[in-house]
């Protein structure tokens, strides 16, 4: 992170008592302040319906920071910058009161009128809030005004357009930061660097040398206490429309002519435009859905999705998706991008495997079956790193080869203090760098790709549950690859 610009800012968080604020935002702001990445001239306004005092709010902020990092220095001083206002989005007087507080804190903390509004609450309020911020003059300031919007950004293309129009009526595209926290992850940002800073890969990065690319983002957690949101969403909206398609775009894009926001985004947009749209009849051939049943995870028995809450008894929501995505352009024609994501799977892991095409003749293996193609593995989490699988001579007198792994683990480097995704993205927003946020065109194109899948799935009754908790998903997910002569790499 740049040491030079230390933004001064007043952050207003809508949804300040929510899970995201507690788990991610407060710890991230703490790190930004403690590491002197942002100025000590900062303040945070927390808004939510609960009738909290500043003291209760500050205790919560301190607690969430301690939960994230253990005992922390100067926590009282840090928390003293946090102010709470009980806020009902439907009450018009709330915005006048908020404006008063904003102006008062701006003077008190000398934040130069820089205002960051963070919408971390139910999406049905996003449009209304954006408009009220405009209407009540909260955008009129000598500094900058930016709006961070959490997902879900719409429910399908139509609703996303509607939401975007509402927000754009009040904010310019340059002021809107649609957050996708995967874009703040170190190793997701590394995809570009690994590709474009290494001569050895870029020449091979195309359909002549790559057989297929696999992206897995699996979680061991179930739906937890988010069933209200999740059941309406499902894995395809929750993970594929955003995080996974963003990773596809980064893996497939052309080298940008420079690293400016516009150039990087426009290359990603070109990839999303080239995704082969699925006809309704093709959906089953390309996409598999699943829902977890009971099973065993870490030696503990866990219940199936439908037993997680009373409302889920008849749920047809998918907690797993696997898909085969094709990109119709010169570089990628014919190379499948296999993706899968699911809850309650055997491990928590996000990983990309690039499988290179095999050599034409097998000289060093006893049988074709032992043959191991070259793989480049990008481990996004939990172990951040990369690994390259090559074949080398087995020790002994025979001329036989065996796969070996060259690996680099980010966490193994001394003194690396990897910033959390949210920390990085909050800072980017404060310095006006929208490169790692999603442009509207990216959101729209992603929905355009997903919509036909949703349309087919919504019409059909799935046979759920179809995978056990603690497994790698439904059998059909394996068949998706085996029908092409491929398989998921569990390396």
| Distance of closest approach, residue 429 Cβ to ligand BG6, in angstroms | 17
3-state DSSP of 8-20:
CEEEEEECCCCHH
Nearer to ligand BG6, 236 or 252 (CB): 236
Rounded-to-integer distance, Cα 209 and Cα 205, Å: 7
| Distance of closest approach, residue 350 Cβ to ligand BG6, in angstroms | 6
Q: Which helix (H) or strand (E) holds 57?
A: helix 54-69
Nearer to ligand BG6, 193 or 221 (CB): 221
Nearer to ligand BG6, 173 or 224 (CB): 224
Torsion angle defined by CA atoms of residues 46, 21, 429 and 40, in that order, rounded to the nearest 10 degrees: 60
Q: Provide the 3-class DSSP secondary structure of residue 109.
A: helix
Nearer to ligand BG6, 74 or 228 (CB): 228
| Distance of closest approach, residue 33 Cβ to ligand BG6, in angstroms | 23
| Distance of closest approach, residue 423 Cβ to ligand BG6, in angstroms | 13
Rounded-to-integer distance, Cα 89 and Cα 423, Å: 27
Q: Provide the 3-class DSSP secondary structure of residue 405.
A: strand
Helix then strand then coil, % of the chain, to nearest 5: 40, 20, 40
| Distance of closest approach, residue 236 Cβ to ligand BG6, in angstroms | 12
Rounded-to-integer distance, Cα 390 and Cα 413, Å: 23
- Residue numbers at the binding site for ligand BG6 (CB under 6 A): 181, 219, 238, 350
Q: Which helix (H) or strand (E) holds 288?
A: strand 287-290
Q: Which helix (H) or strand (E) holds 180?
A: none
Instruction: Tell me the residue ranges of DSSP E strands in 15-97.
Output: 42-48, 82-86
Nearer to ligand BG6, 205 or 230 (CB): 230
Q: Under a CB-based contact definition with an 8 Å cutoff, are residues 75 and 65 in contact? A: yes
Nearer to ligand BG6, 195 or 344 (CB): 344
| Distance of closest approach, residue 222 Cβ to ligand BG6, in angstroms | 10
Q: Provide the 3-class DSSP secondary structure of residue 134.
A: helix
Q: Which of 89, 79, 78 is nearest to 55 (CA)?
A: 79
Nearer to ligand BG6, 278 or 352 (CB): 352
Rounded-to-integer distance, Cα 466 and Cα 232, Å: 19
Asked if residue 290 has a cis previous peptide bond (ω within 30° of 0), the answer is no
| Distance of closest approach, residue 160 Cβ to ligand BG6, in angstroms | 16
Residue of minimal CB distance from ligand BG6?
A: 238
Alpha helices in 281-358 (DSSP H): 283-286
| Distance of closest approach, residue 181 Cβ to ligand BG6, in angstroms | 6
Query: In this structure, what are the phi and psi dihedrals at residue 219, rounded to the nearest 5 degrees?
Result: -130, 150
Annotated catalytic residues are 243
| Token duo for residue 31 | 């790190």
Rounded-to-integer distance, Cα 287 and Cα 276, Å: 13
3-state DSSP of 319-366:
CEEEEEECECCCCCCCCCEEEEEECCECCCEEEEEEEECCCCCCCCCC
Nearer to ligand BG6, 43 or 183 (CB): 183
């Amino acid at each position: 992170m740049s040491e030079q610009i230390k933004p001064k800012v007043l952050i207003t968080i809508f949804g300040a008592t929510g899970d995201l604020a507690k788990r991610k935002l407060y710890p991230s702001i703490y790190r930004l302040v403690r590491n002197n990445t942002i100025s000590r001239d900062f303040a945070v306004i927390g808004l939510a319906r609960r009738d909290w005092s500043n003291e209760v709010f500050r205790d919560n902020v301190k607690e969430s920071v301690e939960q994230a990092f253990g005992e922390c220095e100067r926590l009282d001083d840090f928390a003293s910058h946090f102010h709470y206002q009980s806020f009902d989005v439907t009450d018009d007087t709330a915005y006048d009161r908020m404006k008063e507080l904003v102006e008062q804190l701006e003077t008190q903390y000398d934040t130069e009128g820089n205002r960051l509004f963070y919408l971390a609450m139910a999406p049905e309020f996003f449009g209304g809030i954006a408009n009220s911020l405009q209407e009540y003059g909260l955008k009129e300031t000598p500094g900058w005004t930016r709006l961070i919007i959490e997902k879900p950004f719409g429910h399908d293309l139509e609703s996303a357009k509607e939401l975007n129009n509402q927000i754009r009526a009040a904010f310019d595209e340059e002021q809107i930061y649609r957050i996708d926290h995967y874009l703040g992850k170190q190793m997701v940002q590394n995809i570009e660097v690994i590709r474009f800073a290494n001569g050895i890969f870029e020449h091979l990065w195309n359909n002549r040398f790559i057989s297929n690319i696999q992206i897995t983002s699996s979680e061991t957690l179930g739906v937890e206490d988010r069933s209200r949101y999740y059941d309406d969403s499902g894995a395809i909206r929750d993970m594929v429309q955003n995080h996974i398609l963003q990773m596809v775009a980064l893996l497939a894009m052309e080298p940008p002519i420079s690293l400016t926001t516009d150039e990087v985004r426009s290359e990603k947009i070109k990839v999303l435009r080239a995704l082969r749209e699925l006809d309704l009849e093709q959906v089953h051939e390309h996409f598999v859905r699943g829902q977890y049943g009971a099973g065993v995870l870490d030696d503990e028995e866990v219940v199936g999705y439908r037993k997680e809450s009373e409302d889920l008894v008849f749920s047809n929501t998918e907690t797993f998706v696997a898909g085969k995505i094709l990109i119709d352009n010169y570089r990628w024609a014919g190379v499948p991008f296999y993706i899968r994501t699911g809850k309650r799977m055997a491990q928590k892991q996000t990983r990309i495997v690039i499988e290179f095409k095999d050599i034409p003749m097998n000289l060093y293996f006893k049988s074709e079956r032992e043959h191991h193609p070259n793989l480049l593995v990008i481990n996004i989490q939990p172990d951040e790193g990369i690994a390259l699988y090559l074949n080398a001579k087995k020790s002994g007198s025979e001329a036989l080869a065996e796969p070996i792994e060259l690996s680099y683990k980010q966490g193994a480097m001394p003194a690396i203090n990897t910033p959390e995704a949210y920390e990085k993205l909050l800072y980017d927003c404060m310095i006006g760098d929208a490169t790692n946020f999603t442009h509207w065109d990216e959101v729209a194109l992603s929905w355009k790709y997903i919509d036909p899948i949703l349309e087919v799935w919504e019409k059909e009754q799935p046979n759920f549950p179809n995978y056990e908790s603690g497994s790698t998903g439904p059998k059909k997910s394996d068949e998706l690859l085996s029908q092409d002569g491929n398989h998921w790499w569990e390396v």
